[in-house]
Amino acid sequence: MPETTADAEYETEYETDHEYDAVVIGGGAAGLNGALMLARSRRSVVVIDSGTPRNAPAEGVHGLLGREGVPPAELLRKGREEVRGYGGRIVAGEVTDAVPADPTAEGDPRFAVTLADGTVLRARRLLVATGLRDVLPDVPGLARHWGHGVVHCPYCHGWEVRDEPIGILAVGPASVHHAMLFRQLTDDLVYFTRGTELDEGTRARFAARGIRVVDTPVASVESTESPGEGGDGIEGVRLTDGRTVPRKVLAVATTMLARTDGLDSLKLPTEDLPGGMGRHFASGPAGVTSVPGVWVAGNAADLAAQVGASAAAGALAGAHINADLTNADTEAALAATRVADHRADRE
């Protein structure tokens, strides 16, 4: 058994010669809730956590009933504690390869998961909950404010930036809807087209809602670093004609890409969202994939899911994995009984 202290968040020693019922790749809300369901069903489960959650820059998680405003790190710390309380293992590391292994005689899938330190874990099932990577438009000065002055979701961060001077940095058609949602939060909204097309109907709707449109190209995002002005924040958007439009908050519809590092050998199918908005793993009900024995959950499968939806998807996937394992256990037991009966008949 692993030797860990009571307050350790990750295992430092754990079984590598053991076949786990499930390996969960990703230690966010989806992965941890999936692991929780499996551990509570008395399944042996290991969570591989790279320690790079998407919402790490955020000050709090919002829209999560009963946990409104909880810091992301605190939510995950508590989740790891709960999984470990039911016997689940949490391992810090990165997956470099995950490959299907030879199934059993009854066709029960098997997998080998290799970590960056060379450790190989064997598993009967996999839950991929790797989350996604946000790709920001290439605007100088923008990335430094990500998760603070630069936001992407009106439901995750909108209340916190209400009544501020907000700018929408357009990336395509999705930004029009983005603008309408953020208009609900402030009367001072500027839409920077950045070369994207706006038809006359949309311009009329913007005008009716008091949304100012700026067609001049954007040169950079300007920051204020004076302590007297609140420290490092957004001062405004500098245009190519030299003007600066004062803004304190910028909203951007990022390109969202499911994290696929180390998973190529599984050959999981992916799907692209329209308009270059992103790419996610293709899945069916409860996160089942076309690869036998592999489920996906959270932002890796649903790019728009907030923390609550991701956690719920992980729980559902975990329950279905347990049911699938139960069926496999029953088939294996039945096969063993038939072999025993055949031997008895021969004797």
Please give the CATH architecture assigned to the domain spanning 19-133+255-343: 3-Layer(bba) Sandwich (3.50)
pLDDT score of 335: 85
Task: Return the number of other C-beta atoms located less than 10 Å from residue 16's C-beta.
Answer: 12
pTM: predicted TM-score of the whole model, two decimal places: 0.91
CA distance 106 to 323: 17
pLDDT over threshold 90, residue 276? no
| Tokens at 171, concatenated | 């990336």
pLDDT digits (tens, 9 = 90+) for 138-168: 999 999 999 889 999 999 989 999 999 999 9
pLDDT score of 341: 64
CB proximity list for 114: less than 8 A, separation 6 or greater: 95, 96, 97, 98, 120, 262
Whether 19-133+255-343 and 137-251 share one fold: the answer is yes
| Tokens at 73, concatenated | 């790190």
Mean pLDDT, range 289-293, rounded to an integer: 97
Mean pLDDT, range 192-215, rounded to an integer: 97
Domain ranges of the chain: 19-133+255-343, 137-251
Q: How confident is the model at residue 15 (pLDDT cuts 50, 70, 90)?
A: low
pLDDT digits (tens, 9 = 90+) for 239-258: 999 999 999 999 999 999 99
Q: What are phi and psi of 23, to 5 degrees?
A: -110, 130
Higher pLDDT, residue 58 or 291: 291
Please give the CATH architecture assigned to the domain spanning 137-251: 3-Layer(bba) Sandwich (3.50)
